[in-house]
């Protein structure tokens, strides 16, 4: 009976990790879309919604601590719970990067984008797809699927480098573009992380 209770609690934690992951994915995608459309109001909502991501993190961490205290897991089970804590923390950090992009959009005010956004939304799509598949692999304990994901990080790195080169070209052409280039570079940097 105790083992079944433990397994149910682990499954609930895994389900909630997927919920938190979905919140983070949406935050990042919405932040990039708000930046692309220069929608400051949407960015302000994303900043507010980050509070829910943070609250969810602490709620899940508390649930893990309760499981540890009440179930006293050993070996594999304890390592799984430690991994869950790490995943929760990383998801919250990723949510902060989405919020960071929203803050960039807010700080840009009414400045137009320096160039059309193509690579930054692509970085967001690839990154959130990787995140989704990584979380699915984690909750299903699918090592094969998990091993396939890091190779895609090279695509994001290449897009970041391409964005960097393009923005530096704008800056070298006209130094007045430094601030607007820097905003987009920070947004790309948040996605590259």
Query: 151 pLDDT band (50/70/90 cuts)?
Result: confident
Per-residue pLDDT of 105-122, as tens digits, reads 999 989 999 999 999 999
What CATH number is given to the structural domain containing 20? 1.20.58.220
Structural domain including 11 reads 2-192
Residues in the chain: 193
Per-residue pLDDT of 13-44, as tens digits, reads 999 999 999 999 999 999 999 999 999 999 99
Q: What is the pTM of this model?
A: 0.93
pLDDT at 1 over 70: no
Long-range contacts of 116-121 (CB under 8 A, 24+ apart): 117/32, 117/35, 117/36, 117/184, 119/159, 119/160, 119/162, 119/163, 119/166, 119/188, 120/32, 120/35, 120/36, 120/159, 120/163, 120/184, 120/187, 120/188, 120/191, 121/32, 121/33, 121/36
User: Which class for 32: exposed (0-12), middle (13-18), buried (19 or more C-beta within 10 A)?
Assistant: buried
Domain count within the chain: 1
Q: How far is CA 95 from CA 3, 10, 23, 26, 152, in A?
A: 33, 23, 8, 9, 20
């Amino acid at each position: 009976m105790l083992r079944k209770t433990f397994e149910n609690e682990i499954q609930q934690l895994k389900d909630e990790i997927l919920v938190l992951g979905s919140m983070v994915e949406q935050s990042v995608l919405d932040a990039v879309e708000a930046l692309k459309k220069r929608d400051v109001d949407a960015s302000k909502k994303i900043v507010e919604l980050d509070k829910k991501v943070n609250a969810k993190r602490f709620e899940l961490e508390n649930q893990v601590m309760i499981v540890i205290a009440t179930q006293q897991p050993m070996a594999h089970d304890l390592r799984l719970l430690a991994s869950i804590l790490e995943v929760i923390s990383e998801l919250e950090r990723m949510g902060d990067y989405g919020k960071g992009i929203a803050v960039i959009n807010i700080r840009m005010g009414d400045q137009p984008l320096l160039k059309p956004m193509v690579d930054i939304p692509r970085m967001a799509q690839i990154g959130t797809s990787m995140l989704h598949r990584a979380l699915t692999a984690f909750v299903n304990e699918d090592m094969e699927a998990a091993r396939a994901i890091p190779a895609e990080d090279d695509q994001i790195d290449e897009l970041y480098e391409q964005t960097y080169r393009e923005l530096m070209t704008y800056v070298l052409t006209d130094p007045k573009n430094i601030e607007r280039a820097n905003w987009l570079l920070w947004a790309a940097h948040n996605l590259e992380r």
